[in-house]
Each structure stands twice: as C-alpha cells, then as structure tokens.
Amino acid sequence: MRILLDKFCKSFGTTSVIEDMQLEVGSGEMLALLGPSGCGKSTTLFAICGIHRPTSGRILFGDRDVTNLPSQARNVGVVFQSYALYPHMTVEENIGFPLKVKRLATANIKQQVAEIAKLVQIDNLLGRRPGQLSGGQQQRVALARALIRRPDVLLLDEPLANLDAKLRLEMRSEIRRLQRETGITAILVTHDQVEAMSMCDRIAIMNKGEIVQIASPSDMYNDPRTAFVAGFLGNPPISFLKGRAEQGAFVLRDGGLKLPLPALSGIADGTELTLGVRPEHFGVAGGIPVEGRVTFAETQGRENLYDVVLPDGSVLRSIQPVRDDVKPGAQVRWMLDSSSTFVFAEDGRRL
C-alpha cells in the first residue's frame, strides 16, 4: 500500500521537529530513513503509525486519508527502537497479543504464533518472558509481533541495532525476504548506511527534520546532491579537501594540488569549494599524482585503510588491496581519480 506524507509538519509545543515534509513510498517498496540522531526519524515513524498527530499536513495510505484515524484503525506493524515488549507476558502471549485483541480463537492464535516464531527462529523460546531473552532475541520477538497481524505497512525503528554481526546479516536478508514475499510497504529507520543500502529499494536521507535527498542506493552513492549526503554514505567515509576555483580547476588552499574538473566551467575564479574524494578513488589507479605522508594504517582483512596527510594539513583516506610495503610515516605519491570526485559549493550544494 502506498504511503504519502503531504506537507507533513510536526512540532512539540514550540519546538518544530519536522517542517513541510513531502515523502512518498510506493506500494511494496522498502524505504530507508537514514539520518543522524535527533533528526526526526522516529517522529516521522510515529506520525505514520498514528501515535503522533501531525501538526499540519496529510498522511495517506493508498488513497485513504488516515490523518485523523487512530492507530488501532490503521493496521500498521511497528518494531520500536526499544522493542516495547510486554514484560509480564511470555513470548507467546507477546506475539499473540495483536490477534487476541482481535478476539481470534485461542487455537488459531497458537498456530499462527508458532508459524511466525519459526520464521524468526524463536520457536524454542515461546515460554520465556522478555526479561529472560537477549537483546537480539527480544528484537525478533518484536518483529514477530509486528508481522503477525499481516499489516499493510511495516515500520521498523532500528530493528537490527542490537544484533551481532552475523545475525544482523541473516536478519537483514530475512526481513527483506519477508517484506518481498508479503508485499508489505516498509519503512526502515537506521543509523547504519550499510543496512540502508543493502536492504532497501530507496533511501531517504534526513537532516534536521528535512529530507535532503531520496534516491536508490547506487544513485545516492554515485550522485549525492549535497556534501552532507556524500559524507553520510560510504564506509570508510569520504574525505573532504578545502580549496578554490581557478580557471575551471580545483586548487588546494596552498596551491599544492590542481584538478581540472568539467563541473567547474563557468565558476568564477576564487570561489570557495570543497572537494569530496572517496577512499576507493585515491590509490594506485587514477590520473593526478598526490604526494603526502601516511599517518595511519589499518588492515581490514581483505583491504588496507590509510590516512594520508597532504602538505597543507588536509587528510585523504585511501582504501587498497592488502599490501605491506607502506608503513605509517612513509612518504607516498598516490594517484587520484579526478573524474570520480565531487565538488561542492560553500553551502554544501554539489556543482
């Protein structure tokens, strides 16, 4: 079912958290809401599931205006950031609660709970209480409780934050598979850009209550609209160099590096600029040589990560296949692939 937030605003008292948000999630789509802490992700989610009334604007499910509908009438499944399991009930009662509220027959509830518990692999824990579960198990109980009602819309507020790396990987594909199979429209709130990129059809990046950009993961990565978006996606993160425009080229502040860039034609000389270089575009391949000193080296198993300080003090990150000829303190001359860099104006806009 399509979700549409139309000119959605939310303020608590006098503090305005979200202003004029426009967001459409297609039917059966999975959208990631990505953004720094406190930018209003949970608030948006709570408005969609009906816990917060919008201050103004409309919320539509399909063509139905649900703005003034209470939560109970919306058929939304939510996994809360803090799980919000019912501590006095067993896992089985927790998962079955949405059905019990609907007054389904006990045998029916029991059977459905068993099915869904098997799906999220907690069928051996049904008799326990939430207090006797690990964080990851609690999370899966919360997920099962959200799914059991076969909701039209599934909202996930950082559902994988507490899982270990392996389980997180499993759950990622598990959630994605469930979502695809059931055709539920889903919104996933996360801090983790890898999660957002790997699980979702589209990503919406939020900052201070605004959506900065919505795009598919690869578009977002290869074509960020602002320096904020470029800085948010990618691990290890992009590095930024400060400089000026000079005759259609980017020049580092001390003049030590000159990059001719097509994007800069028509930009007045002396304009302050920021250059974004992803770590994979600085290393052995590329057209422009850059000299610097390695200050930090870290191996990540398959790849090595280096921090290189340029003569003017700015830092470039480089990620390369494992090699052990470069140690911290070494002077290097590596190549920069200028065609894959991004230039941003002073206000963060991409040129």
Partner 1 sequence: MAEKTAVPTNPASANFSGLPVIGLLTLLSLPLAVMYAYLFIDTISNSQGGSLVPSEFTLEHWRFLWETRPGKPNIWLVTLNTVIFTCCITAVTLTVSSMAGYVLSRLNVPARGFFLAGVMVLHAFPSVTLIIAIFIVLQYLGLYNSLIGVILVKAAIDLPLGIWLMKGFYDTVPWEIEMAGVVDGASRFTVWRRLVLPQIKPAVMALGLFSFLSGWSEFILPQVLAPGARVQVLSVYLAGLIADDNNFDFGTFKAVGVFYVVPVLILYAFFQKHLMNIYGGGTKG
Ligand X SMILES: Nc1ncnc2c1ncn2[C@@H]1O[C@H](COP(=O)(O)OP(=O)(O)OP(=O)(O)O)[C@@H](O)[C@H]1O
Q: Return residues touching ligand X (CB under 6 A).
A: 12, 15, 17, 35, 37-43, 81
Query: By rule CB under 5 A, what count of residues binds Mg ion?
Result: 2
Single-letter residue type at 225? R
Give the C-alpha separation, 246 to 73, whole Å: 60
Least distance from ligand X to the Cβ atom of residue 43, Å: 3
Number of Cα atoms under 13 Å in the Cβ half of residue 290: 35
Backbone angles phi, psi at 85, to 5 degrees: -75, 160
Q: Which is nearer to Mg ion, 42 or 341 (CB)?
A: 42
Least distance from partner 1 to the Cβ atom of residue 100, Å: 9
Tell me the torsion sign for CA atoms 294, 297, 302, 303.
negative
Site for partner 1 in 124-183 (CB under 8 A): 145, 149
Q: Which does 43 bind (CB under 5 to 8 A by kind): ligand X, partner 1, Mg ion, none?
A: ligand X
53 binds partner 1 (CB under 8 A): no
> Using CB under 8 A, which of 14, 15, 37, 72 touches partner 1?
72
Only segment of 23-31, 65-73, 186-194, 302-310 that touches partner 1 (CB under 8 A) = 65-73
> Using CB under 5 A, which of 42, 193, 207, 304 touches Mg ion?
42
Angle at which helices 135-147 and 106-119 pack, to 10 degrees?
Answer: 130
Whose structure tokens read 């006797």? Answer: 132
Query: By rule CB under 8 A, what count of residues binds partner 1?
Result: 26
Give the C-alpha separation, 338 to 340, whole Å: 5
DSSP secondary-structure letter at 235?
A: S
Q: Report the number of secondary-structure helices (H) and strands (E) in the chain.
A: 8, 20
69 binds partner 1 (CB under 8 A): no
Least distance from ligand X to the Cβ atom of residue 259, Å: 36
Least distance from partner 1 to the Cβ atom of residue 112, Å: 14
Give the C-alpha separation, 31 to 25, whole Å: 7
102 binds partner 1 (CB under 8 A): yes
71 binds partner 1 (CB under 8 A): yes
Q: Which does 70 bind (CB under 5 to 8 A by kind): ligand X, Mg ion, partner 1, none?
A: partner 1
Residue by residue, DSSP assigns 54-79 as: PSEEEEEETTEE-TT--GGGT-EEEE
Q: Which is nearer to partner 1, 73 or 322 (CB)?
A: 73
* Strand partners for 306: 297, 318
321 binds partner 1 (CB under 8 A): no
Residue 201 corresponds to which tokens in the numbers above?
């059809």
> Using CB under 8 A, which of 69, 101, 284, 285 touches partner 1?
101
Only segment of 30-38, 42-50, 181-189, 190-198 that touches partner 1 (CB under 8 A) = 42-50
46 binds partner 1 (CB under 8 A): yes
Give the C-alpha separation, 61 to 216, whole Å: 22
Classified as helix, coil or strand, 234 is coil
CB atoms within 10 A of CB 7: 12
**Interface residues with partner 1 (CB under 8 A)?**
46, 49-51, 70-72, 75-78, 80-88, 97-98, 101-102, 145, 149
